Amino acid sequence: MVPAVTALARLLRTTAFKLSLLYLAVFTGLSGFLFVSISRNTDTLMTEQVVQTVDAEIEGLADQYARGGARALVAAIDSRARRPDASLYLFVDFAGNVLAGNISRLPTTVLEEADGGVRRVKYGRGDGETEREAVVRTFEVPGGFRLLVGRDLGEQTRFRDILAGALRVWLVVVVVLALVTWAFVSRRVLKRIDAIAASSRQIMDGNLSQRLPLAGNGDEFDRLAISLNAMLERIEQLMQNLRDVTDNIAHDLKTPLTRLRTRLETTLNEARGEADLREAMEATIEDSEGLIRIFDALLQIARVEAMSPDGGLQPVDVAAIAEELADLYAPVLEDEGGSLKLDLLPVQTALGNRELIAQAMVNLIENALKYARSKNGQPLAITVMVRQEKDRILLSVADNGPGIEVKDRDRVLDRFVRLEQSRTEPGYGLGLSLVRAIARLHGGTLTLEDARPGLKAQIDLMVAPAAKAGGEEIDGTDRS
Amino acid sequence: MMRILIIEDDKQASAYLAKGLKEVGHMADQASDGEEGLEMASAGSYDVLVVDRMLPKRDGLSVIQSLRKAGNHTPVLILSALGQVDDRVTGLRAGGDDYLPKPFAFTELLARIEALGRRPKAGVDVETVYRVADLELDRLAHRCTRAGKDIPLQPREFRLLEYLMQHAGQVVTRTMLLENVWEYHFDPQTNVIDVHISRLRSKIDKDFDSPLLHTVRGAGYTIRNGAGRDSAG
């Protein structure tokens, strides 16, 4: 019983039920309005017809009176009153004695107000039959006589009864139809919604690869499910990224943390003096700083990946950044006999984040400083290049070092990937990951190419929408 | 000596900072939440406030905004676990004067506090010529002389020397130089700043008897007359 009640309560709460109720109310209201308006109009029309008939009778009787006086009138009324139709007559003298007619009961006031006006009255035909309704006209006839001519409204009442009966049937049909619609709609809608709810519950329970069901007919539920599925796809991908990063962090932080802990333990057990302790502590601080750097770098990559290019990108002069950074790093290379050259062509203003573009360029320059020194003692030469190709601004850093083999070029962009030959250099394998994230934020990519010899790393940025183009657009709208 | 207020909810970190500051001769008070910090900062006359960004009861940035609204312009150093560029910008926009991401070396914090505390007050005329011993930097004429001898400097070298002399006698860290001379906020993995310092040093110190530009081990650089707390670098 209880489940049945809750199921009913659930049905009553549905939108389908509320909608059906609304339809029902609207249809009922509309039918009521239609009925009232039809019955009113027909009533008026029929009353007019009745009055016309009454007027024709009166004309005929007036003729009789003109020809033969009151006596002829009484004879005419007597003959007409015997006809079995809806016409009503009553002819009385000054004392109210009935001289002719087919009405036995009538409100007395009707005969007193003999002004010829049209009235609706209740009357009886005698034989104790029930009161009926009629339209009548009453006149004074010279000699103290009064004449009433009228017509029974039985037909009209019958017509109204038929209409009322039709309305009742119609109402039942409307209610039944509403119930059927409700049952159909709610069954269909509830089925779809229950399916979606069941799938989302599974997804919430942790089955992130589950998707919402599609009926395949492209209706509004399908469109909703398609959007939600796209959202789930993105969430799953982000979760996967997050899981990868967490795994990598766990892996790469555990090694230095274990080393740090082992050193502290060993020192605690074996240290023979202050010098030993001091040395261990300095090494520990150094290690912890390395850990912090890894954390910072990972956080920054995550932040950049989560940033939206819609907000926060501003017009940036890429060539100016290249000049400033070349000015910063050139002395480092010159001191060891190498060189840092700038190769700039005039480019448009880029749309980007100045700090992040600088960070990307710094990572590429520092990578070259770390990994591109060749073993044969040839001086390191770095070239920073800025170019424009259509609406992309290309920013590249090339070196003359050993380069990266084709098979490693994709891999080296991932987090924590360090090539074997570079393991001896300090670093965490996060620099290029950050550069790639920054390039992606700017709608671009990071590509690694062979600089023959050496490596050329390039990112591309979008051109800032020029103020001039905007002005032309505004001019255009003004003219139109 | 400077009066410093530390508003930081991590009691251990706060006590460590206060102890360190007292050891180098400053006075340090501590507040452990935003409300208490705002009250103490409004009531006391401090030279520098060190404000953690995330505080119980009242957010660090809101403390700074309230102080600034009330007309209190004590220099503020914001400490934060959030170190990204946009976080720095929001911090400075809220009225902070400098921003130091956690974790940091104590020497870095000390150098920044001292730089803030000795900043020329607003409205006071800024010197146009900086002097350290016989080294002179004329900021208007863009000229550098030592013992009357002209020293030609590149524009960036001039900016570097200008910043060092503006903070003469104080320790200036590598990141402070990168932020203020080059206006970048990244963490260089290479010795890029040292190379620029050594170039500047070869111009202003090489041909003269007493060196003025000193390396402070584990912290940064300082420009001053005489040896003092110097160590070979």
Closest CA of chain B from A298, distance in Å: 12
pTM of the model: 0.62
Contact call for B85 and A355, based on CB within 8 A: yes
Contact call for A362 and B188, based on CB within 8 A: yes
Contact call for A331 and B83, based on CB within 8 A: no
For residue B156, which residues of chain A lie inside 8 Å, CB to CB? 327
Closest CA of chain B from A471, distance in Å: 31
Answer CATH for A1-210 from 3.40.640.10, 3.30.450.20, 3.40.190.10, 3.30.830.10: 3.30.450.20
pLDDT in tens for each of the 480 residues of chain A?
556 677 777 767 777 777 778 878 888 888 888 888 888 888 888 888 888 888 888 888 888 888 888 888 888 888 888 887 778 888 888 877 888 888 877 877 777 777 778 888 888 876 666 778 888 888 888 878 888 888 888 888 888 888 888 888 888 888 888 788 878 877 888 888 888 888 888 888 888 788 888 888 878 888 888 898 888 888 887 788 778 777 777 776 787 788 888 888 888 888 788 888 888 888 888 888 888 887 888 778 877 877 777 667 889 899 999 999 998 999 888 888 888 899 888 888 888 888 889 989 999 998 888 887 766 677 888 999 999 988 899 999 998 887 777 777 777 777 666 666 555 666 677 888 889 989 988 888 898 888 788 889 999 998 888 654 443 333 333 333
For residue B103, which residues of chain A lie inside 8 Å, CB to CB? 292
Residue A100: beta bridge partners? A91
Q: What is the pLDDT of residue A397?
A: 92
CA distances from B130 to A54, A144, A315, B146, B171 (A): 124, 136, 36, 12, 17
- Please indicate if any CB of chain B lies within 8 Å of the CB of A426: yes
Interface test mutation site (partner B, options A325, A327, A328, A335, max chain B beta carbons within 10 A) = A328
CATH of domain A220-305: 1.10.287
Closest CA of chain A from B188, distance in Å: 8
Q: Quick check: do B3-117 and B129-223 share a fold?
A: no
For residue B188, which residues of chain A lie inside 8 Å, CB to CB? 362, 366
Dihedral angle, C-alpha B89, B94, B96, B102, nearest 10 °: -60
Task: For A301, name the nearest residue in chain B, comparing CA atoms only.
Answer: B84
For residue B187, which residues of chain A lie inside 8 Å, CB to CB? 293, 296
Inter-residue contact A416 to A252 (CB < 8 Å): yes
Question: CA A438 to CA A356: how far, in whole Å?
Answer: 7
User: With the C-alpha atoms ordered B157, B160, B166, B172, is the resulting torsion angle positive or negative?
Assistant: negative
Which pair of tokens denotes residue A352? Answer: 């980007």
DSSP calls for A348-387: PPEEE-HHHHHHHHHHHHHHHHHH---TT-PPPEEEEEEE
Residue A448: beta bridge partners? A457
The domain locations on chain A are 1-210, 220-305, 309-467
Task: For A285, name the nearest residue in chain B, comparing CA atoms only.
Answer: B105
Residue B48: beta bridge partners? B4
Contact call for B190 and A427, based on CB within 8 A: no
Q: What is the pLDDT of residue A403?
A: 76
For residue A366, which residues of chain B lie inside 8 Å, CB to CB? 188-190
Inter-residue contact A388 to A463 (CB < 8 Å): yes
Contact call for A358 and B188, based on CB within 8 A: no
Residue A148: beta bridge partners? A90, A138
For residue B190, which residues of chain A lie inside 8 Å, CB to CB? 332, 366, 369-370
- Give how far the C-alpha of residue A103 lies from the chain's centroid of Cα atoms, to the nearest Å: 73
Task: Return phi, psi of residue A141, to 5°.
Answer: -115, 135
Question: CA A336 to CA A362: how far, in whole Å?
Answer: 19
Contact call for A324 and B182, based on CB within 8 A: yes
For residue B203, which residues of chain A lie inside 8 Å, CB to CB? none
Helix (H, G, I), strand (E, B) or coil at A184: helix
Task: For B104, name the nearest residue in chain A, comparing CA atoms only.
Answer: A289
Interface test mutation site (partner A, options B106, B190, B197, max chain A beta carbons within 10 A) = B190
Contacts of A8 (CB under 8 A, 6+ apart): none
Inter-residue contact A115 to A92 (CB < 8 Å): no
Q: What is the length of chain B? A: 233
Residue whose pair of structure tokens reads 């111009």 in the numeric block: B203
Name the residue among B4, B174, B13, B9 with its Cα closest to residue B106: B13
Please give the CATH architecture assigned to the domain spanning B3-117: 3-Layer(aba) Sandwich (3.40)
Task: For B190, name the nearest residue in chain A, comparing CA atoms only.
Answer: A366
Average pLDDT, integer, range B206-224: 87
Interface test mutation site (partner B, options A278, A295, A303, A365, max chain B beta carbons within 10 A) = A303
Task: For B105, name the nearest residue in chain A, comparing CA atoms only.
Answer: A289
DSSP calls for chain B: --EEEEE-S-HHHHHHHHHHHHHTT-EEEEE-SHHHHHHHHHHS--SEEEEESS-SSS-HHHHHHHHHHTT----EEEEES--SHHHHHHHHHTT-SEEEESS--HHHHHHHHHHHHTSPPTTSPPPSEEEETTEEEETTTTEEEETTEE----HHHHHHHHHHHHTTTS-EEHHHHIIIII------SS-HHHHHHHHHHHHHTTTSSS--EEEETTTEEEE-SS-SS----
Answer CATH for A309-467 from 3.30.565.10, 3.30.70.120, 2.60.40.10, 3.60.150.10: 3.30.565.10
Interface test mutation site (partner B, options A304, A332, A380, max chain B beta carbons within 10 A) = A332
For residue A369, which residues of chain B lie inside 8 Å, CB to CB? 190
* Chain B positions touching chain A (beta carbons under 8 Å): 83-86, 101, 103, 156, 182, 184-192, 195-196, 198-199
Chain segment B12-43, per-residue pLDDT in tens: 999 999 999 999 999 999 998 898 999 899 88
CATH of domain B129-223: 1.10.10.10
Counting Cα atoms < 13 Å in the Cβ hemisphere of B214 gives 24
Q: What is the pLDDT of residue A474?
A: 37
Question: CA B184 to CA A245: how far, in whole Å?
Answer: 28
Name the residue among B197, B203, B201 with its Cα closest to residue B178: B197
DSSP calls for A63-97: HHHHHHHHHHHHHHHHHHHTSSSSEEEEEE-TT--
Residue spans of alpha helices (H) in A205-317: 220-270, 274-306
Q: What is the pLDDT of residue B219?
A: 84
Chain segment B36-70, per-residue pLDDT in tens: 999 899 887 899 999 998 888 898 999 999 999 98
- Please indicate if any CB of chain B lies within 8 Å of the CB of A327: yes
Out of A303, A335, A427, name the one closest to residue B195 (CB): A335
Which pair of tokens denotes residue A29? Answer: 């209201």
Q: What is the pLDDT of residue A420?
A: 61
The domain locations on chain B are 3-117, 129-223
Residue A419 is which amino acid?
L
Residue whose pair of structure tokens reads 């209409």 in the numeric block: A163
Q: What is the length of chain A? A: 480
Out of A292, A353, A359, name the one closest to residue B103 (CB): A292
Question: CA B129 to CA B119: how far, in whole Å?
Answer: 16
Contacts of B5 (CB under 8 A, 6+ apart): B28, B29, B30, B31, B37, B40, B41, B44, B46, B48, B49, B50
Name the residue among B144, B67, B178, B233 with its Cα closest to residue A329: B178
For residue A324, which residues of chain B lie inside 8 Å, CB to CB? 182, 184
Q: What is the pLDDT of residue A215?
A: 82
Pairing status of strand B76-80 against strand B98-101: parallel
Contacts of A223 (CB under 8 A, 6+ apart): none
What is the ipTM, given to two decimal places? 0.80
